[in-house]
Protein backbone atom coordinates (compact mmCIF):
# COMPACT_ATOMS: atom_id res chain seq x y z
CA UNK A 1 0.00 0.00 0.00
CA UNK A 2 1.13 3.51 -0.63
CA UNK A 3 1.35 6.24 2.00
CA UNK A 4 -2.07 7.70 1.19
CA UNK A 5 -3.81 4.31 1.57
CA UNK A 6 -2.02 3.70 4.87
CA UNK A 7 -3.17 7.10 6.12
CA UNK A 8 -6.79 6.43 5.08
CA UNK A 9 -6.75 3.05 6.82
CA UNK A 10 -5.21 4.55 9.96
CA UNK A 11 -7.94 7.20 10.10
CA UNK A 12 -10.66 4.59 9.64
CA UNK A 13 -9.10 2.37 12.32
CA UNK A 14 -8.91 5.18 14.88
CA UNK A 15 -12.49 6.25 14.17
CA UNK A 16 -14.04 2.77 14.39
CA UNK A 17 -11.89 0.63 16.71
CA UNK A 18 -13.93 1.15 19.90
CA UNK A 19 -17.26 0.48 18.19
CA UNK A 20 -15.90 -2.70 16.60
CA UNK A 21 -14.39 -3.81 19.90
CA UNK A 22 -17.72 -3.22 21.68
CA UNK A 23 -19.59 -5.25 19.06
CA UNK A 24 -17.03 -8.05 19.39
CA UNK A 25 -17.51 -8.02 23.16
CA UNK A 26 -21.27 -8.29 22.76
CA UNK A 27 -20.75 -11.27 20.46
CA UNK A 28 -18.32 -13.21 22.66
CA UNK A 29 -18.65 -11.78 26.21
CA UNK A 30 -14.91 -11.53 26.88
CA UNK A 31 -12.87 -8.33 26.43
CA UNK A 32 -9.64 -10.19 25.63
CA UNK A 33 -11.27 -12.30 22.95
CA UNK A 34 -13.10 -9.19 21.71
CA UNK A 35 -9.75 -7.50 21.16
CA UNK A 36 -8.57 -10.52 19.18
CA UNK A 37 -11.71 -10.59 17.05
CA UNK A 38 -11.54 -6.84 16.39
CA UNK A 39 -7.90 -7.20 15.38
CA UNK A 40 -8.81 -10.06 13.03
CA UNK A 41 -11.47 -7.90 11.37
CA UNK A 42 -9.13 -4.92 10.95
CA UNK A 43 -6.33 -7.11 9.59
CA UNK A 44 -8.75 -8.47 6.98
CA UNK A 45 -9.74 -4.93 5.99
CA UNK A 46 -6.11 -3.83 5.83
CA UNK A 47 -5.22 -6.73 3.52
CA UNK A 48 -7.99 -5.81 1.10
CA UNK A 49 -7.90 -2.02 1.51
CA UNK A 50 -6.81 -1.29 -2.07
CA UNK A 51 -9.44 -3.63 -3.51
CA UNK A 52 -12.33 -2.12 -1.57
CA UNK A 53 -13.99 0.31 -3.94
CA UNK A 54 -16.92 1.43 -1.82
CA UNK A 55 -15.37 2.96 1.29
CA UNK A 56 -18.90 3.67 2.59
CA UNK A 57 -19.41 -0.11 2.95
CA UNK A 58 -16.39 -0.59 5.25
CA UNK A 59 -18.49 -0.86 8.40
CA UNK A 60 -20.58 -3.64 6.84
CA UNK A 61 -17.43 -5.45 5.71
CA UNK A 62 -15.84 -5.21 9.16
CA UNK A 63 -19.08 -6.31 10.85
CA UNK A 64 -19.40 -9.34 8.56
CA UNK A 65 -15.76 -10.30 9.12
CA UNK A 66 -16.22 -9.92 12.88
CA UNK A 67 -19.36 -12.06 13.04
CA UNK A 68 -17.79 -14.78 10.91
CA UNK A 69 -14.65 -14.82 13.05
CA UNK A 70 -16.69 -15.25 16.25
CA UNK A 71 -18.85 -18.00 14.77
CA UNK A 72 -15.84 -19.81 13.27
CA UNK A 73 -13.98 -19.64 16.58
CA UNK A 74 -16.95 -21.07 18.45
CA UNK A 75 -16.93 -24.10 16.14
CA UNK A 76 -13.38 -25.04 17.03
CA UNK A 77 -13.55 -27.93 19.47
CA UNK A 78 -10.79 -26.68 21.77
CA UNK A 79 -12.59 -23.34 22.22
CA UNK A 80 -15.99 -24.61 23.24
CA UNK A 81 -17.07 -23.53 26.65
CA UNK A 82 -17.85 -26.18 29.17
CA UNK A 83 -20.54 -25.55 31.74
CA UNK A 84 -19.79 -26.68 35.26
CA UNK A 85 -21.94 -27.03 38.36
CA UNK A 86 -19.88 -24.58 40.40
CA UNK A 87 -18.31 -21.42 39.11
CA UNK A 88 -14.63 -20.94 39.93
CA UNK A 89 -15.33 -17.51 41.37
CA UNK A 90 -18.51 -16.32 43.01
CA UNK A 91 -20.17 -13.06 42.05
CA UNK A 92 -19.66 -10.12 44.36
CA UNK A 93 -22.17 -9.92 47.18
CA UNK A 94 -21.94 -6.13 47.25
CA UNK A 95 -25.57 -4.94 47.35
CA UNK A 96 -24.68 -1.43 46.26
CA UNK A 97 -24.28 -2.42 42.62
CA UNK A 98 -26.43 -0.17 40.47
CA UNK A 99 -29.36 -1.54 38.51
CA UNK A 100 -27.59 -0.71 35.26
CA UNK A 101 -24.56 -2.80 36.12
CA UNK A 102 -26.73 -5.66 37.35
CA UNK A 103 -28.81 -5.54 34.18
CA UNK A 104 -25.70 -5.47 31.99
CA UNK A 105 -24.22 -8.39 33.92
CA UNK A 106 -27.44 -10.39 33.57
CA UNK A 107 -27.57 -9.66 29.84
CA UNK A 108 -23.97 -10.74 29.32
CA UNK A 109 -24.52 -13.94 31.33
CA UNK A 110 -27.63 -14.63 29.31
CA UNK A 111 -25.96 -13.94 25.96
CA UNK A 112 -23.12 -16.33 26.81
CA UNK A 113 -25.68 -19.14 27.07
CA UNK A 114 -27.22 -18.44 23.64
CA UNK A 115 -25.71 -20.41 20.73
CA UNK A 116 -23.19 -18.34 18.67
CA UNK A 117 -25.27 -17.95 15.50
CA UNK A 118 -28.36 -16.90 17.45
CA UNK A 119 -26.22 -14.59 19.61
CA UNK A 120 -24.85 -12.97 16.46
CA UNK A 121 -28.37 -12.36 15.16
CA UNK A 122 -29.50 -10.86 18.49
CA UNK A 123 -26.48 -8.57 18.72
CA UNK A 124 -26.84 -7.39 15.12
CA UNK A 125 -30.60 -6.87 15.33
CA UNK A 126 -31.09 -5.41 18.78
CA UNK A 127 -27.75 -4.00 19.92
CA UNK A 128 -26.35 -2.86 16.56
CA UNK A 129 -29.80 -1.80 15.32
CA UNK A 130 -29.71 -3.59 11.96
CA UNK A 131 -32.92 -4.57 10.22
CA UNK A 132 -33.61 -8.13 9.06
CA UNK A 133 -32.26 -7.55 5.54
CA UNK A 134 -29.02 -5.98 6.76
CA UNK A 135 -28.45 -8.73 9.33
CA UNK A 136 -29.04 -11.35 6.63
CA UNK A 137 -26.48 -9.65 4.41
CA UNK A 138 -23.88 -9.53 7.20
CA UNK A 139 -24.45 -13.18 8.09
CA UNK A 140 -24.67 -14.33 4.48
CA UNK A 141 -28.03 -16.04 4.91
CA UNK A 142 -31.68 -15.51 3.99
CA UNK A 143 -34.02 -13.10 5.76
CA UNK A 144 -36.12 -16.09 6.84
CA UNK A 145 -33.10 -17.58 8.58
CA UNK A 146 -32.51 -14.31 10.43
CA UNK A 147 -36.15 -14.25 11.54
CA UNK A 148 -36.11 -17.85 12.77
CA UNK A 149 -32.71 -17.42 14.47
CA UNK A 150 -34.05 -14.25 16.12
CA UNK A 151 -37.08 -16.09 17.48
CA UNK A 152 -35.00 -19.02 18.73
CA UNK A 153 -32.34 -16.70 20.12
CA UNK A 154 -34.89 -14.62 22.02
CA UNK A 155 -36.40 -17.77 23.48
CA UNK A 156 -32.96 -19.04 24.55
CA UNK A 157 -32.10 -15.61 25.96
CA UNK A 158 -35.35 -15.47 27.96
CA UNK A 159 -34.55 -18.85 29.51
CA UNK A 160 -30.95 -17.83 30.19
CA UNK A 161 -31.97 -14.46 31.62
CA UNK A 162 -34.28 -16.17 34.07
CA UNK A 163 -31.27 -18.10 35.39
CA UNK A 164 -28.92 -15.09 35.23
CA UNK A 165 -31.34 -12.84 37.11
CA UNK A 166 -31.79 -15.53 39.77
CA UNK A 167 -27.96 -15.64 40.10
CA UNK A 168 -27.86 -11.87 40.71
CA UNK A 169 -30.48 -11.83 43.45
CA UNK A 170 -29.00 -11.59 46.94
CA UNK A 171 -29.35 -14.67 49.10
CA UNK A 172 -32.10 -14.34 51.71
CB burial readout 27-62, b (16+ within 10 A) else e: bbbeeebbebbbebbbebbbeebeeeeeeeebeebb
CATH 1.10.10.10 fits 97-172, yes or no: yes
What is residue 1's predicted lDDT score, i.e. its pLDDT? 72
- pLDDT tens string, the chain, 172 residues long: the values are 789 889 999 999 999 999 999 999 999 888 999 999 999 999 999 998 888 888 788 899 999 999 999 888 877 766 555 666 776 555 554 444 455 566 778 888 888 889 999 999 999 998 888 999 999 999 999 999 999 999 999 999 988 887 655 554 555 4
Read off φ and ψ for residue 52, nearest 5 degrees. Answer: -80, 115
What is residue 106's predicted lDDT score, i.e. its pLDDT? 81
Intervals of CATH 1.10.10.10 along the chain: 97-172
What is residue 96's predicted lDDT score, i.e. its pLDDT? 47
The DSSP code for 140 is T
Give the DSSP H/E element, type plus range, for residue 20: helix 3-28
What is residue 97's predicted lDDT score, i.e. its pLDDT? 46
Q: Are 60 and 44 in contact (CB under 8 A)?
A: no
What is residue 117's predicted lDDT score, i.e. its pLDDT? 92
Amino acid sequence: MDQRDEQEFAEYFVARREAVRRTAYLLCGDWHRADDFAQTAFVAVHRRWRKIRDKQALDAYVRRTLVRAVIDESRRPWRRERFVDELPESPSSDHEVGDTVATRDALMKGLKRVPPRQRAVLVLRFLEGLDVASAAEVLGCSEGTVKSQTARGLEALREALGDAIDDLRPAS
